[in-house]
Amino acid sequence: MANDAARKAFVGEFYAHFFGWVNLIGLLLQTLAVSRIFRYIGIRGSLFILPAIALAGYSLILIYPALYAVRTLKILENSTDYSVQNTARQALYLATRREAKYKAKAAIDTFFVRIGDVLLAGIVYAGTRMALSISGFAAISVVLTIAWIIVTLGIYREHKKRLPDVA
Note the pLDDT tens digit of each residue in 5-63: 888 888 899 999 999 999 999 999 999 999 999 999 999 999 999 999 999 999 999 99
CB 75 within 8 A of CB 25: yes
**Domain range spanning residue 16?**
2-162
What pLDDT, on a 0 to 100 scale, did the predictor assign at position 5? 85
- Separation between Cα atoms, residue 116 and residue 41, nearest integer Å: 28
Residue 70 lies in a domain: yes
Binned at pLDDT 50, 70 and 90, residue 165 comes out as confident
Residue 161: pLDDT above 70? yes
Residue 111 lies in a domain: yes
Residue 148 lies in a domain: yes
Residue 47 lies in a domain: yes
Residue 167 lies in a domain: no
Number of structural domains found in the chain: 1
